[in-house]
Structure 1
Amino acid sequence: MYKVLIVDDERPVRMAIRLAGEWEKLAVSEIVEAPEAHTGLRLLEEWKPDIVLVDIKMPVMDGMEMLRRASARYPEVKYIIVSGLDEFEYARQAIQYRVLDYLLKPVDKVELNRSLREAVRQLEEERKDREMKQRQSMMNNLSLPLFKEKLLTMIIDGDRIHPPILEDYKKLTSMTKQHVLYSCAIIQVLNFDEVCASKFKGDSFSCYFALTNMIDECCAPWSQGFSFRSYKTDHEIIVVLEIGTHPEPKVFSAAKMTEIIHSLQTLFGFASIAGIGGFSPSFEKLGESFGEAHAIKSSINILKCENRVFTETQTGRRAELSSIMNKRELLIRAFESGNIEFTRGIVNGYFDLIKQTGYFSMDDARKSAAEFILMFEDIAAQLGIAEDPQGKPLSFGTVGPYPSFEDFSEFVFRVISLVFDRIQDGLRNSEAFNIIRIKNYIDDHFFTDINLTMFSEQYYLSKEYLSRLFKERFGFGIYEYVLKVRMDRAKEMLDDPSIKIQLVSSKVGFNDNAYFSKAFKKYTGLSPSEYRNLALQSKKSI
């Protein structure tokens, strides 16, 4: 909807214009009148009309002076002169002040509405043009970063890029300047999940946006930096640096990157480390720089990690250790013993061997943590605790970057505590465990199908541990004891000649009479018939 201002010192003229205009058709919602130029200028500033109809000959300030001032301050407004003066000089000045039309009094209704329609048409076109430019600007603001991110990712990954696309990107991002060095840095956020949960309510998109925006702002005074999230490594930010030629670009950028790491810690609480790759005047060599930055970050010795920004690959004598998997059986026995300190002691011994070498990189820690998780998952499955009480798979967390050996060992010990607590929860949630309960169950249910799995699942203990515990207490393995009870009961029933051997077989849990006879003979040295005959002869002799 549009607003119209009528500026004329003659009230009848103003009324005539009001009556002649087809305002509803023109989408004009408001009309305001001004009896002289000063009031007209004030209303222009305060009310901001879209169309102004102005007379030339007015007291104090004429219409031409008003147009001169108004067109300079409000060039977007459409001005139409309505005058009784038909002079060329006025028409010439009107063109200078970007007047849309020059109408003579008395006002002709057809001419007035034609001029008003043209004014509305121009306003509508200009509005659409502004909206299109705004949308284009918004799209550029949104799409250019995405375009940059996509293209830089392709360069870093070594993908082939069509040359015209690369040239267009350089022009869009002003990367055609001379005497410029390019590099790739990697910032690894070490506590992303914690900060995301506490500061961003778990919204990872907002968290990454804040991270990259902050990094770009910090880079702006010294580098045309552009940062974006890495989708290959969790919580990793890739920063493309662009600096002027410098005698020691790595030293210079490392000092600046240290300031960025400090700012991220101070403002948001992000704990981070960074690796900076080599600099090159060639933008296309960013992939090599990224590879170097990644190698630098991965090589950081977490046994001696005092800095937060690194520019060179660290080396050292790597620990020549046997796999932690070799400690698996020992750890199972430690978990089953219920002694967490014994369990920790086994792992601490492994850690001591690592510390003796003096070098353990972030990459070593990542691989070792993955091996620990794999082993603990295997142990949990064997101990029957692969699921939590709700039936969901037990989670040991994800392998993350470990900036220090303390962080790495804390992760491993946390998983150990998780496994240990799960075993204890299993025992607490089940009926109080006592090995006698298994013996009593066998005594009462020897004729049913009995297997170790049922006890293992009930008491959250491994089959091996239960068998060992049962044998230590009663001198038999569980299966051995089941067989013993069955054979003892079979003997009792065979002493009664009225009970058929086939019935004895089924009563002690054997569905196959032949199999029962074979098992009985193997256990006693006599077949069921031989045992019965011998028992009867013994009774007669008595």
Structure 2
Amino acid sequence: MYKVLLVDDESWTRDIIRAFGEWEKFEMDIVGEADDGLEALRLTELLAPEVVITDMRMPGADGMQLLRMLNDRFPEIKVIVVSGYDDFNYAKHALRYRAVDYLLKPVDPKELNAALQNCKSELEAALQDRSAMSLDLDISYLLSSYKQLLRTHFNELNKEGVAATLQQMTGELERNGIKKAGMLEQVVQEMLLLLKELMFANSLDSESLHAPYSHDALASSANMTSFLIQHYEDTLEQLIHQRKFKNKLNLEEVKQFIEMHFAESVTLEQLARAFFVSKEYLSKVFKLEFGRNVTDYILFLRMEKAKEWLADESIPIKAVAEMAGYEDVTYFYRVFKKHFGIAPGEMRKSGEV
């Protein structure tokens, strides 16, 4: 069964789509629902849907932002846009990010099911392509720990750490016999996809990464490493210049960074280094602007999102803790109870979420 995620801030619209879709006919199953783009992105990471059906106008992160995030991070997902506004800009945005179809409200059952058929056809074609050139899961597994290190070094603007991590990664690839061009191409694709994700999270234009790269980059492990280091370092230079030479600290940019990374290990010291200010100054002006210090704001975001996710009983509490940035579930219980005065399980049972 293909998994489907519904995204709309109006629950009745989600009910209509659920009622009109011929889900069994298209071998599809609705696995989750979200009412804004950020929640949709979190559920996408958790549930891995093949199809997302989204509205365009929503509070918080809207459909435009969600389309861009899905295109950057999950380009294989098929998207159907459903909008109550016959707006050329929305349609253009949907086309730019390769939406399968653009439907107007009120939803026409025939149009919806035609769009679902198109999604199924594209998914089946993609599956055949993957079978012809399947990715090596062992390579992906090997890369996973290096990706996490790269995220940390990148967010700390640590060019030396990024280069050293990519070199260590190449060394392990070679020790495992991963040297052929086809294997190296998978590595390059996965590392560029990670870089696109990091660029998007830091409000950088990632269009340049769509350009085809020279086969010289795959001629050897050394060439591949130099190619990746160059891309990562050039991007970091761009980000450093963007932040370091601004006339004034952009607190909205800091706030947006926190909102994109609150589930990670973000500290005041890391933020201060990343935005080229002292931690004392950042702490002071952030609290003056937003009424909370950085640590309290991170805690607030984690708790609010955890409360939202608890409302979906299909998500285990352990998964909620991990999504909110807590590997230790016991510690998550303590923090949650201190914040809300009630344990996560009790809140879920009480229906207060």
The normalised TM-score by structure 2 is 0.38
**Greater RCO (Cα-Cα under 8 Å, separation 6 or more):** 2
More helix per residue: 2
